[in-house]
Chain A
Amino acid sequence: MSTRKRTSKKARDGKNVVAKLSELGADAVKQIHAGKNPNVEIPLRTLANVKFDPKKSIIELGDETQSRSLFNVGQARKYMQTMLVASACKDLVDVGKTTSIRDLYYITKHTIAGTRQNTFEEQEESDPIIEDIEVALDSLREEMNLFASNRGSMVGPLTIVDSGDTIDLRRLGSGGWSVPSIVEANVIQFKKTEAQMIVLVEKDAVWRRLNEDKFWKKHNAIILHGNGMAPRGVRRLCYRMANELKLPLYVLVDNDPWGLYIYSVVKQGSINLAYESLRMAVPQARFVGLSSFDAEKYGLAENVHIRLDEMDERRAKQMLSYPWFERKEWQKELRKMMQMGVKFELEALSSKGISFISEEYLPKKIRDREYLV
């Protein structure tokens, strides 16, 4: 815990990531010379260690940490890997290059001298270590020049500068601008915009419908999608636009537990990345996805229902107990879904007409403030 607090302070001190990485190493060396078992405190990333702050309406990491030390048979390997990844990241930042986490896995993977063991056997081993370092140092992987693969597209009445190139998001045809995984201010800057809202769409298909129907033009909306669960780049970008451009964020997702959860992650952060909520969560986000009550309202025929499967039901039950779904409206929503035992995809609206969603459903929801928060 203490470590956690110290690092938070450090973060506030505004130390750059290189300094933090060096300090991580120096701490270890100090412990070793003092004859102590070198260890790092890593905040726990579990449901038990996240708190929902109703005031800020975001999920925050708790105080619990786990200690990872070298002289512990179960932790020795991970400790070694932590330091290995840390040193690789420092190298990256030192030479000013960015790379993917898969690339980092290859960079750090080698056979340990004198053995037949590798430092890493597969990427699944290396990815959590990166997250560990992020939490432990209270830095983002983006700060350590690590990125994930691009996912998601965006168009809208906005001009941006991406790595020095000015891009007009109004003139990108059907494909849109591919949202990079690193969207920090040093890479992306916002320029001129007439936008009045942001619409985050769950899936690519719906986003394309909106783009094709020029929804963004008609309603002065920036529309983007994350191809399922919104990746870090998309979430961070939403955060920046919502805060820097002072725009409302509408989230358009399917009517199923998965869709609701995407909305919740965008709004208040996830358990796994709770440490990044502050930088990514957009508490003012509004839910404009399909509600279980919309079935009647829009007269969706039974043939577009999909039965909830076992996993859906389990997930819904779980979500009922999450503190951030405690609000009456959400409880009602979830219970209704479970009671009906069916879910709807956004595409179900196409049964009312191919552009029903872009011309009637979405404008109406926004205009009539029929959204949930």
Chain B
Amino acid sequence: MTVRIRKSSGKPVVFGDTPVAKGNKGSRAGSGPDSARIPKPATPPRPASKPLATKRKKPDPVPTPAKPRGKGPAGKITKPASGTTEKKARTSGTAEKARSSGTAEKKAGTRGTAEKRARTAAKDRSSKLRTVEEPASRALVQESKLALEAPAPAGKRAAVKADSPRPSGRRASAETLAGHQREISVSEFFTKNRHLLGFDSPARALLTTVKEAVDNSLDAAEEAGILPSVRVELVEISEDRYRVIVEDNGPGIVKAQVPKVFGKLLYGSKFHRLAQRRGQQGLGISAAGMYGQLTTGKPVVITSKTGKGRPAHHFEIVLDTAKNMPVIVKDDALDWDADHGTRIEIELQGSYKGGRRSVDEYLEQVAIANPHAEVVYKPPRDRAPVRFERLTEQLPPEPLEIQPHPYGVELGSLQHILKDTKARTVSSALQTEFSRVSAKVADEILKLAGVPTNRRPHDLKPAEVDLLHRAIPKVKIFAPPASSVVPIGEQLIQRGLEREIRAEFACSSTRPPAVYRGNPFVVEAGLAYGGDLRQAADDEVEPHSTTKSEDAQQGPITLLRLANRVPLQYQQSGCAIFRAAIETNWRQYGLSQPKGSLPQGPMVLLVHVASVWVPFTSESKEAIAHYAEILKEIRLALQECGRKLGTYLRRRDNARREERRRGIFEMYIGELVESLGKLTKVDRKQLQADLAKLARQHTGDVSAAAEAYVAPTRRVRSESPPDGDTADDDERSQLRLGLEEGR
């Protein structure tokens, strides 16, 4: 969605390129808040008229690539990003200033626009509009100085409407209100509502930035069939300012696309496809860039290379928040050793700390969730780098893209689909546009709906579509193909946990695929218990105390939530995973659990929800919505893990009991030998040895369990990949410890 201001002043919707900051538009955007206060006359009433409707509805005009770059490297916008402008305007608060800066920008932009205009032509209706409007806007540019100050008409249209009467006795008339009504740019919206995207605090902003960049890197590499290798570096510039550098070995990005991918909100490859990906909306990384630019004024720096022998292109991009357009500040080519990959640098206001929800922890979780990825992390200051090796050399199978399933479709989208389909009949439309709809199923639906099979989908009346929509749930349709959802896998989850956490017990379970609202999904869970998770305080606990009593002192467990392999950090309590975890009765598995909360104990619990479309509760993608089907599957997965844990804990407790029993026996052996020695003639040493042996035997019925109690550590080692040498492991654990100390 491009930025479009409704105002008639003819804000040309320009895409692709440059800041075509047209006069009017520019000033408006620049002085956003001010403009409201400024005398109405300046804002020409909206032209009413047709284009508006179309404009609004129109889908994002996706510009053809290549435009931007032509625009002139560097040159064109000498002006700092619009963000800066905006800031200035705001701070100064004076209309004049805002205006002037706006104007300057405009002027600079004009050149570009002209050139572009020719090129942009075509395709969509909007472009027509634009061409018509542009001249006007250009005129405006020149006059804009006056425009705001004086009621003098600016531009033809403005002039025409400006004299609309203002009825007396009312605060505002429809007409005056109309003057305020204009489209809001997505970028503007998120500038004001940054919390929606996860930028509400400096610490969170830093994490979100890393997260978005890493998500993109992993998605890109996987989609290209490359084993991902991601390097994350945090550079501390000052206490509250960091540079985030994320580098991957992905396929790289075609030069022409780079600015849009990173400099435009809601521009991406994943929104319109139903496939399991980390990213969804094409929002995250551009928002991160926008945030960085907003707080530091620094452009986003991108380097990308698409193949051996090709040059790496290097961009500095700023985002025009008013127009949601990338502005290229610098564009050159350079040499890069890597064959392919992308590197992004964002400087932003942030704060770095360790502990929960830190970048450190996040990346650790990323490593668990992505056992096929290699993650290298260089923390800020003089901390030593951490390297998470990949646990498997095998890429997860590519999640297949699927058609939507009829069960999940909403009336609006059904209408839309039927309008857009190329199929000639409704029946074939249903078959081609949806998954799992055979001719038979389609006929059944149509019969139920009372719609003839051979109707042309385009001709269907809304009432008929409604009938169709009501008929769908009554027909039995196969669940969508599960191949579209790829879980991490039981074994890899367990190994991932065991690698990051030196636990005494770990287990996992992956559920068979299920469906919510027509979207297939898979839930898997894993847990790691005891070992290093146990806090030092535990040492004071009586060694033979039972699991429950000892766990109660450990506080609540740690819950790791993953959605499509992305660790979720915030809004835990609003998440379906959390809900399912507290609704599970962990007491029956040997943990203590206060009513209505997470169980307690030295345990990390991991839950992964993979789906072609994970239903998040907000754009920052931190919590999964409470769909009954998802809750149920999570609970089942947790119960499976819980049962395994329960078995282990029972065995361990038995082993401990046996140990305690042996302790009792051994305590009395000395006394007994003494007494028997007095009662009869005996070789005391021999007797003592025999008794000790007997004591072991008699507490040995459960000795297998006793072994299992010590075993997990051993098992972890033997199962870790043969090449992962222990030195490395140790080093990493030391690093981890180091980090913890730093907290």
Binding site for B on A (CB under 8 A): 21-26, 28-29, 32-33, 35, 37, 70-71, 73, 76-77, 79-80, 83-84, 86-87, 90-91, 112-115, 117, 119
Complex contact B687–A77 (CB within 8 A)? no
Binding site secondary structure of chain B:
helix
B680 near A32 with CB under 8 A, answer no
Chain B minimum-CB-distance residue to A78: B668
Residues on B with beta carbons closer than 8 Å to the beta carbon of A119: 671
* B670 lies within 8 A of chain A by Cβ: yes
The yes or no answer to B124 lying at the interface (CB within 8 A) is no
Contact of B676 among A25, A71, A77, A114 (CB under 8 A): A25
**Would you call A22 and B690 a contact (CB within 8 A)?**
no
Q: Can you give 17 contacting A-B residue pairs, CB < 8 Å?
A: A23-B680, A25-B675, A25-B676, A25-B680, A29-B682, A29-B687, A70-B672, A77-B664, A80-B671, A83-B676, A86-B679, A87-B676, A87-B678, A90-B678, A112-B671, A114-B670, A117-B667
Q: List B contacts of A90 (CB < 8 A).
A: 678-679
- Nearest first, the 4 closest Cβ-Cβ pairs linking A and B are A25-B679, A25-B680, A87-B678, A71-B698
- Write out the residue numbers on chain A whose beta carbons fall within 8 Å of the beta carbon of B695: 71
Q: Are A76 and B665 in contact (CB under 8 A)?
A: yes
Task: Give the distance in Å from the alpha carbon of A112 to the alpha carbon of B672 in the complex.
Answer: 11
Q: Is the CB of A22 within 8 A of B680?
A: yes
CB distance from A16 to the nearest CB of B (A): 14
CB-CB under 8 A from A84, the residues of chain B are 671, 674-675
Contact (Cβ within 8 A) A37 B672: no
Query: Do A24 and B679 touch across chains, with their CB atoms under 8 A apart?
Result: yes
Not counting A70-B672, A83-B679, a sample of 20 additional A-B residue pairs whose C-beta atoms are within 8 angstroms of each other reads: A28-B679, A29-B680, A29-B682, A37-B694, A37-B698, A70-B665, A71-B665, A71-B695, A77-B668, A79-B668, A79-B672, A80-B668, A80-B671, A80-B672, A84-B671, A86-B675, A87-B674, A87-B675, A90-B679, A113-B670
Asked if B667 and A73 sit within 8 Å, CB to CB, the answer is: no
> Do A73 and B664 touch across chains, with their CB atoms under 8 A apart?
yes
Residue of A24, A33, A83, A115 near B690 (CB, 8 A) is: A33
B694 A35 Cβ-Cβ under 8 A:
yes
> Which listed residue, B664, B670, B674, B694, touches A32 by the CB 8 Å rule?
B694
CB distance from B671 to the nearest CB of A (A): 5
Name A70's contact: one of B668, B670, B674, B679 (CB within 8 Å). B668
- Report the bound CA distance from A249 to B693 in whole Å: 58
Tell me, in angstroms, the Cα distance from A165 to B674 when the chains sit together: 40
Count of chain B residues near A, Cβ 8 A:
24
Give Cα A26–Cα B693 distance, bound, in whole angstroms.
Answer: 19
Given A29-B687, A32-B687, A35-B694, A76:B680 Cβ within 8 A: no
B320 → chain A closest CB, angstroms:
78
Min C-beta distance of B695 to chain A, whole Å: 7
Least CB distance from A260 to B in Å reads: 42
Q: How far is the CA of A73 from the CA of B661 in the complex (A)?
A: 6
Chain A: CB-nearest residue to B671:
A80
Residue interface bits B679-699, CB-to-A below 8 A is 1, else 0: 110100011001101110110
Pairwise interchain contact B672-A83, C-beta atoms closer than 8 A: yes
Q: Distance in Å from the Cβ of A196 to the closest Cβ of chain B?
A: 48
Q: Which B residues touch A26, using CB under 8 A?
A: 679-680
Give bound CA distance, A211 to B667, whole Å.
Answer: 56
Query: What residues of chain B lie closer than 8 Å to A77, measured between beta carbons?
Result: 664, 668
Give the residue name and chain of the A residue nearest to B695 (CB): A71
Count chain A CB atoms within 10 A of each CB in B661, B667, B679, B680 and give the residue with the most.
B679
Q: What is the bound-complex CA distance between A79 and B671, given in angstroms?
A: 10
Chain B residues contacting A83 (CB-CB under 8 Å) are 671-672, 675-676, 679
CA distance A112 to B664 in the complex (A): 11
Tell me how far the C-beta of B388 lies from the nearest C-beta in chain A, rounded to whole angstroms. Answer: 47
Whole-angstrom distance from the CB of A164 to the nearest CB of chain B? Answer: 31
Q: How far is the CA of A96 from the CA of B664 in the complex (A)?
A: 35
The answer on a CB contact under 8 Å between A115 and B679 is no
Whether the Cβ atoms of A28 and B665 lie closer than 8 Å is no
Task: Report which of A71, A80, A86 forms a contact with B694, defined as CB distance below 8 A.
Answer: A71
Are B676's CB and A28's CB within 8 A? yes
Which A residues touch B697, using CB under 8 A? 35
- A22–B679 Cα distance when bound, in Å, is 5
Instruction: List, in ascending order, chain B residues with CB within 8 A of A22's CB.
Output: 679-680
List the B side residues contacting A33 at CB < 8 Å. Answer: 686-687, 690
- Which residues of chain B have C-beta atoms less than 8 A from A91's C-beta? 678
B670 surroundings in chain A (CB, below 8 A): 112-114
List chain A residues, Cβ under 8 A from B693: 35
Report the bound CA distance from A113 to B675 in whole Å: 14
Closest chain A residue to B663, Cβ basis: A115
Contacts A37-B698, A115-B667 given; does A21 touch B672 at CB 8 Å: no
Bound-state Cα–Cα, A37 to B665, Å: 11
- Measured CA separation A243–B698 after assembly (Å): 51
Residues of A within 8 A of B664 (CB): 73, 76-77
Residues of B near A32 (CB, < 8 A) are: 687, 690-691, 694
CA distance A257 to B147 in the complex (A): 121
Chain B residues with Cβ under 8 A from A70's Cβ?
665, 668, 672, 691, 694
Contact partners of B691 in chain A: CB under 8 A: 32, 70
CA separation between A35 and B670, bound complex, in Å? 17
Contact with B675, one of A73, A76, A80, A114 (Cβ below 8 angstroms): A80
**Across the two chains, which residue of chain A brings its CB closest to B668?**
A80
Closest to A82 in B: B675
Task: For the complex formed, measure the closest distance between the CB of A39 and the CB atoms of chain B, giving whole angstroms.
Answer: 12
Please indicate the chain A residues that have their CB under 8 angstroms from the CB of B674 in the complex: 84, 87
Question: What is the chain B residue whose CB lies nearest that of A117?
Answer: B667
* Residues of chain A contacted by B694 (CB below 8 angstroms): 32, 35, 37, 70-71
B668 touches which of A24, A35, A76, A87 (Cβ 8 Å): A76
A7: min CB distance to chain B, Å? 15
Closest to A108 in B: B675
Chain A residues, CB < 8 A from B686: 33
Q: In the assembled complex, which residues on chain B have CB atoms less than 8 Å from the CB atom of A37?
A: 694, 698
Considering the complex, which residues of chain B in the window 685-743 have a beta carbon less than 8 Å from any beta carbon of chain A? 686-687, 690-691, 693-695, 697-698
A73 to B698, alpha carbons, bound, how many Å? 11
In the bound assembly, the distance between CA atoms of A71 and B669 in angstroms comes to 10
**Cα A66 to Cα B678 with chains together (Å):** 25
Among B530-589, those with CB < 8 Å from A are none
Interface string of B636-679 (1 = CB under 8 A from A): 00000000000000000000000001001101101110111011
Least CB distance, A22 to chain B, in whole angstroms: 5
**How long is the Cα–Cα vector from A28 to B671 in the complex, in angstroms?**
14
Contact status of A29 and B661, CB under 8 A, knowing A35-B694, A84-B671: no
Q: Which residues of B contact A71 (CB under 8 A)?
A: 665, 694-695, 698
B690 touches A21 (CB 8 A): no
